[in-house]
């Protein structure tokens, strides 16, 4: 019986650790509920970033004309739009998210709802002043 409990705890802890925000996700439009883009979340030097792999609403030549600074007129495909997230328990925060349609940058946090669903929140100032999207893991 002791071995069964130990084995169960080991398998449970392994499955929790295997769940990760890393990988490809499908973003969903808030209003039409249609797929908007495929994004890839990756890790670099302990921080998490996301880039657009494919857009369903613009062609491969589309550029971020509303963006400012070094992102101005960069191609949407390949655009790094989430930057600098740090893991904080079951949440990833401390980073920013760029809205490529408006060029506005917001504070951001990300939370894994379950293995295939990600909560992404962009906000100004306080987290209750913002917008939440739910992304689904790309199959």
Q: Could you give the 3-state DSSP secondary structure of residue 16?
A: helix
116 within a domain of the structure (yes/no): yes
User: Which pLDDT belongs to residue 83?
Assistant: 98
66 within a domain of the structure (yes/no): yes
Task: Decide if pLDDT at 14 tops 60.
Answer: no
Which tokens sit at 90? Answer: 């079951």
User: Which pLDDT belongs to residue 26?
Assistant: 98
Apex 48 CA angle, 139 and 78, nearest 5: 65
pLDDT digits (tens, 9 = 90+) for 73-130: 999 999 999 999 999 999 999 999 999 999 999 999 999 999 999 999 999 987 778 9
Residue 81 has a CB neighbour count (10 Å cut-off) of: 21
Q: DSSP states of 72-130 as a string?
A: TT-BSTT-EEEEEEEEETTEEEEEEEE-TTT--EEEEEEEEEETTEEEEEEESSSTTSE
User: Which pLDDT belongs to residue 96?
Assistant: 97
| Domain count within the chain | 1
Residue 127's domain spans which residues?
20-137
44 within a domain of the structure (yes/no): yes
Question: 12 versus 58: which is more confidently predicted?
Answer: 58
Burial of 47 (C-beta count, 10 Å sphere; 0-12/13-18/19+)? middle
Residues 82 and 48: their CA atoms lie apart, in Å, by 8
Going 44 to 49 to 53 to 59, the CA torsion angle's sign is: negative
91 within a domain of the structure (yes/no): yes
Find residue 116's DSSP bridge partners.
none
Task: Decide if pLDDT at 2 tops 80.
Answer: no
Q: Taking residues 12-23, report their average pLDDT.
A: 63
57 within a domain of the structure (yes/no): yes
8 within a domain of the structure (yes/no): no
pLDDT digits (tens, 9 = 90+) for 41-64: 999 999 999 999 999 988 888 999
Find residue 44's DSSP bridge partners.
47
Q: Taking residues 36-42, report their average pLDDT.
A: 97
Dihedrals phi, psi of 71, to nearest 5 degrees: -95, -10
């Amino acid at each position: 019986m002791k071995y069964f409990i130990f084995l169960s705890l080991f398998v449970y802890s392994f499955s929790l650790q295997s769940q990760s925000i890393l990988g490809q996700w499908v973003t969903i439009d808030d209003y039409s509920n249609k797929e908007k883009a495929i994004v890839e979340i990756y890790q670099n030097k302990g921080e998490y970033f996301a880039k657009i792999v494919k857009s369903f609403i613009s062609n491969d030549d589309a550029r971020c004309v509303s963006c400012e600074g070094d992102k101005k007129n960069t191609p949407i495909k390949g655009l790094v739009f989430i930057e600098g997230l740090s893991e904080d328990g079951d949440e990833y925060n401390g980073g920013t998210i760029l809205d490529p349609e408006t060029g506005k940058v917001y504070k951001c946090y990300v939370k894994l709802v379950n293995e295939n669903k990600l909560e992404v929140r962009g906000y100004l100032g306080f987290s209750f002043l913002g917008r939440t999207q739910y992304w689904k893991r790309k199959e």
